[in-house]
A and B are shown apart, each in its own frame.
Chain A
Amino acid sequence: MKNTAKFALTTLTVAMLAACSDDKTNDAPASPVVPEVKQLELPAVQKDSAWFKEAKSAVTEDLARTVNANKGAAKNIILFVGDGMGISTVTAARILEGQMQGGMGEEHQISFETLPFVGLSKTYNTNQQTPDSAGTMTAMTTGVKSKAGVLNIDESVARQDCTGSQGKELTTIAELAELKGKSTGIVSTARITHATPAAVYAKSPDRDYEYEAPAGCKDIALQMIEFAAGDGLDVVMGGGRRNFLPNTLVDVEGKKGKRKDNRNLVDEWKTKNPGGVYVETQAEFDAIPATSTRIMGLFNDSHMRYEADRKNDVKGEPSLSQMTAKSIEALSKNDKGYFLMVEAGRIDHGHHAGSAYNALTDTVELAKAVKVAMDKTSVEDTLIIVTADHSHVFTIAGYPTRGNPILGKVVGNNANGVAQNTPVLASDNMPYTTVGYLNGLGYASLGSETDGDVRYNSAADAGRKDLTAVDTTSPGFHQEALVPLSGGETHAGEDVGIFSRGPGAHLLTGTVEQNFIFHVMSYAGDLLP
């Protein structure tokens, strides 16, 4: 930004060509009009602007960018998936993190926004315009789109058709990586048997077969333990302990197992992995030996806590960034490299519940995890991809002034563009928040004892509420929604972002089908047979 060289801008002022000559008899062509050339000096207020200088410098830096298009150049591949992390979620999380650090927010960049290549992913399932996580993750892990609710089964099979699914299973990128001698790992804040992490290793005609399945199908937890490609999954960290334990057993946090076949898959994993380390609590996680290469951590009976709520866990559980760091340390001991999938699984749940606070603070934690990966790997040999499976009906609206709290009520500018002191009132004379949802449960936090019956007997409470006296930035607030849906807020169908760096990353630009991501990973890692 120190470049003080004068910046001469040459412009061509093109005069109008001569009009028709009055001399109709003169057939000679008119002399060409020579454009008038002016040497302009940009005004100091422009060229000395920080906006101008920083963006100009960024162009210079980008000109030095190189790409590595060599097949197999990516020794390591890390795929980050923010479940439900649409573009508006990324933008709001950027502003929130910036404001949490004392800035205005809009100018801030979360870690993966500094990655050099960005594209857009078309997320629809083969049978659904707005997708679910099973079908979308199948696209990313197999290179083939399929139906909603289905994990790594061809689209020709009906959901829940166990018989029909046999012989229609798709090979996943984790299997390919294992067969190339690489290590493999999955990390998620959701149950490790939940749709997104399950799509790394399982084949099931229904995502819900997490701990039991009809005849002809095998439940997802069992498939994880029996994952046979190469030497099996090397690192597994997440929630979902109950799906590995018999329903006669109570776990370390007082929760009961779900399995009805009386199998204890945790014990079976320990038997199969005598050198492995199994952990369930923060303390055990912290004590994992640095030499470990085989780890299974199941830190919650169901989903792990929201990052904002992690301190309330009974036995303590690690953050997504801590799990990411530990996973990379373990996997990187393999000279042939690794494939790691990291999911921020609860962004989706925060949105479904209409809680922007939880969705955004979990997105901020995802950004922290990506930063860990960026710091622990080399751009020369590691392809890092950050994307989402689908979006949510989450919007950033109104005309809030610069730096307005992203979770706050809209405070606008006056006619001179200067921030006002009080929230803007909508046509119903009530304030409104910047972020909100098109559908869902709606706002229901009016509930004190004295006004509890405001929501008396309502299944969902969409529409407008008087937020005048409400702190909309508090963790317990959930935003208004237009369309009432008791089942919760829904996914959205627009494209999601793909942020990347490393070998092959330059291919992840433009607007691509979601299954294209698999093909970039498999090319960059030379994984296809």
Chain B
Amino acid sequence: MKKTGQILLLTMAVTGWMSVTQATPLSDNECPQAANAAFRVIYENSQHPEQTQVVWCYQGDVAWETPANGVVQWWHREPNQQVSMIRLFGSEQRGIAFESTDLRILGKQVDAGSLTTLAGDGWVIRQKDSQTETVAARFAQWKQWDTVDFADIGDMEADPFIRKMINIGFIEDNHVTAYYADGQPIKSEHGHHH
């Protein structure tokens, strides 16, 4: 991640979340809600192999990690099959929790069945493994991080973490998980600069 102009374009097959181009489904693109369900897939950009994305699956939960900036989107299937999400920020070891209702209000409902589907050009699987201990340890680590509810953000402008997240546009930057190395979201290639 030496060049900030390099982009890591990773989109997710999430309804209303971002555009989907050429999907590259995993061989087992379901992450079952089973006690022994655990795998990790490391993708790399075929043109920029230093750029990676990691898809984690553990007992039905799916997490998308961008190692370059430490941002993780952790999707959780509720007992009633609705999906909630926590966006974690590795640099702060904190996160923002979106209940299914929040996602619906924001127009970001997700299809739980497609959460492990990586979409986009140029991504190739570098490594896939099913070491349950490794995966479980990663999720256990994330569980230790403090989270705030999205519903509470409107009343938390005095919180330095919230201010920082607002300033770098993460809270409502829901359409991409693509960022420059400095953590700034990547501008659209198609001129949709806002």
> Are A456 and B151 in contact (CB-based, < 8 A)?
no
Q: Does B17 contact A (CB under 8 A)?
A: yes
- Bitwise interface map of A from 482 to 496 toward B, beta carbon under 8 Å scored 1, else 0: 000111111000000
> Are A449 and B149 in contact (CB-based, < 8 A)?
no
Q: Does B154 contact A (CB under 8 A)?
A: yes
| Contact partners of A349 in chain B: CB under 8 A | 151, 154
Determine chain B's interface SS by DSSP, over half rule.
Answer: loop
CA distance in complex: A454, B176 (Å) = 12
**Which of B38-46, B96-104, B120-128, B130-138 binds A?**
B96-104
Contact-size category for A: 35 or more
> Are A476 and B154 in contact (CB-based, < 8 A)?
no
Q: Does B68 contact A (CB under 8 A)?
A: no
CA distance in complex: A401, B172 (Å) = 35
| Contact partners of B153 in chain A: CB under 8 A | 352, 487-488
Asked whether A208 and B156 contact (CB < 8 A) given A449-B15, A457-B173, the answer is yes
CB contact between A457 and one of B99, B157, B186 (< 8 Å): that residue: B186
Name which residue of chain B comes closest to A444, CB basis.
B107
Q: Does A348 contact B (CB under 8 A)?
A: yes
Name which residue of chain A comes closest to B158, CB basis.
A149
**Which of A168-176, A305-313, A365-373 binds B?**
A305-313
> Are B17 and A452 in contact (CB-based, < 8 A)?
yes
> Are A457 and B176 in contact (CB-based, < 8 A)?
yes
CB contact between A453 and one of B15, B149, B190 (< 8 Å): that residue: B190
Q: Does B22 contact A (CB under 8 A)?
A: no
Q: Does A43 contact B (CB under 8 A)?
A: no
**Which of B24-32, B48-56, B78-86, B87-95 binds A?**
B78-86
- Bitwise interface map of B from 57 to 79 toward A, beta carbon under 8 Å scored 1, else 0: 00000000000000000000011
14 A-B residue contacts at CB 8 Å? A207-B155, A302-B151, A449-B16, A450-B19, A453-B175, A453-B188, A455-B174, A456-B176, A457-B173, A457-B176, A458-B194, A459-B169, A487-B153, A487-B162
Known: A353-B150, A459-B169. 20 other contacts (CB 8 A): A148-B158, A149-B158, A254-B79, A302-B149, A303-B151, A346-B151, A441-B106, A447-B15, A455-B175, A456-B18, A456-B176, A457-B173, A457-B187, A457-B192, A458-B175, A459-B194, A476-B104, A476-B105, A478-B107, A486-B171
Enumerate chain A interface residues (CB-CB to B < 8 A).
132-133, 148-149, 159, 195, 207-208, 253-254, 256, 302-303, 305-306, 309, 312, 314, 346, 348-355, 358, 441, 444-461, 475-476, 478, 485-490
Enumerate chain B interface residues (CB-CB to A < 8 A).
15-20, 78-80, 82, 97, 99-102, 104-108, 143, 149-151, 153-159, 162-163, 166, 169-176, 185-188, 190, 192-194
